[in-house]
Amino acid sequence: MARQKGVLTGKQKAAILLISLGPDVSAQVYKHLSEEEIEKLSLEISSVKKVDSSLKEDVLEQFHQIAVAQDYISQGGIGYAKTVLEKAFGKQEASNIINRLTSSLQVRPFDFARKADPQQVLNFIQGEHPQTIALVLSYLDPEQSGQILSALPQEVQADVAKRIATMNSTSPEIISQVEQVLEKNISSSFTEDYTQTGGIQAVVEVLNGVDRSTERTILDALEIQDPELADEIKKRMFVFEDIVILDNRAIQRIIREVENEDLRLSLKVASDEVKDIVFKNMSQRMAETFKEEMEYMGPVRLRDVEEAQTRIVAIIRRLEDVGEIVIARGGGDDIIV
């Protein structure tokens, strides 16, 4: 590789790292990357002819330092990580490591809030302006945001959801101000660039974490306020009834993965179309057993059914995330060939 180690790009460093780790480990890393990332990284690896041993050691050391720093951050935040790293490497090297970490791993604001109990965050933000609530929720994990959104008053839920969906960018100054009020004892570093938050996918992920009744309430309100936005959100969401759009192999994989009790509860009130396609992908004996057990179940609580369906949908989304199944959503990009 012609470039000196001090001016290597991030892709070049990643390529050298994977070459150094060997094919078996690199294959495991590839499983966590997107198709675009795999394509770019593979192209970069293919362009590497020879890697100097000192360059390889330097890249491995940088990766190790970043991994250690990330572990310290997960324990006590950036401030704690910097203190520990300064004791180990000195102020200048600690600063270099933190800078590499924040640029390569993109440490996001509100890191402390993602570790907090959702109720604690709710207590702070529930009286704030809907735009402030939307900003905070867009940075939290979808499951946390879903719990908080569910607990907000119904009259503000749809407004917050809409603001998340239509949020494009927020200046680092505003983010800093909100974060400082939320947690005065935690300090975070921000880049000078505007930070991309929110968007359609963000609100979809949040809605995927709320209960079904809250989801329906919000979508019904958005249908009135902004029909086009509501339609776009629905296109990207996957609910239990959407099992009918999956292929047989995916449905068979899901049947093996989910709890039988959850599947029986979910099918109890499902449409005939959903029941037919699920039973079609079972053995004849299994399908007959399921039908008999569902007949003897008697009346079931709607809440129990919705919770069972939520668990199954969570499994489906997880299987999609790891590439074991494919969910074909609206649009040409999802056509399977």
pLDDT, one tens digit per residue, over 290-329 is 888 888 877 888 888 888 888 898 888 788 878 888 876 5
For tokens 């720093």, the residue is: 69
Strand, helix or coil for residue 169: strand
- The percent of residues above 90 in pLDDT, for the chain, comes to 9
Distant-in-sequence, close-in-space partners of 238: CB < 8 Å, separation ≥ 6: 208, 313, 316, 317, 327, 329
Q: Are residues 289 and 307 in the same domain?
A: yes
Give kind and range of the element (H or E) at residue 195. Answer: strand 195-196
Is 125 in the same domain as 232? yes
Q: Which domain holds residue 268?
A: 240-334
pTM (2 d.p.): 0.38
- Report how far residue 37's alpha carbon sits from residue 107's, in angstroms, rounded to the nearest whole number: 19
| Position 145 pLDDT exceeds 80 | yes
276 has pLDDT over 80: yes
Q: Indicate whether 135 and 217 sit together in one domain.
A: yes
* Number of domains observed in the structure of the chain: 3
Contacts of 104 by beta carbon, 8 Å cutoff, 6+ apart: 10, 66
Alpha-carbon dihedral angle through residues 328, 332, 336, 337, given to the nearest 10 degrees = 170
Residue range 234-264, pLDDT digits in tens: 767 777 888 888 999 999 999 999 999 999 9
Model pLDDT for residues 42-87, shown as the tens digit of each residue: 777 766 666 777 777 887 877 777 677 666 666 666 666 667 777 7
CB 198 within 8 A of CB 209: no
Last residue of a domain, one of 205, 236, 267: 236
Q: Which has the minimum average pLDDT: 21-25, 45-49, 150-154, 218-222?
A: 45-49
Which of 57, 87, 104 is the endpoint of a domain?
A: 104
In whole angstroms, what is the distance from residue 334 CA to residue 327 CA?
8
The continuous run of DSSP H or E covering 10 comes out as helix 10-21
User: 141 by DSSP, 3-state: which?
Assistant: coil
Q: What is the CATH number of the domain that holds 327?
A: 1.10.220.30
**Mean pLDDT across the chain:** 75
Do 138 and 67 lie in a common domain? no
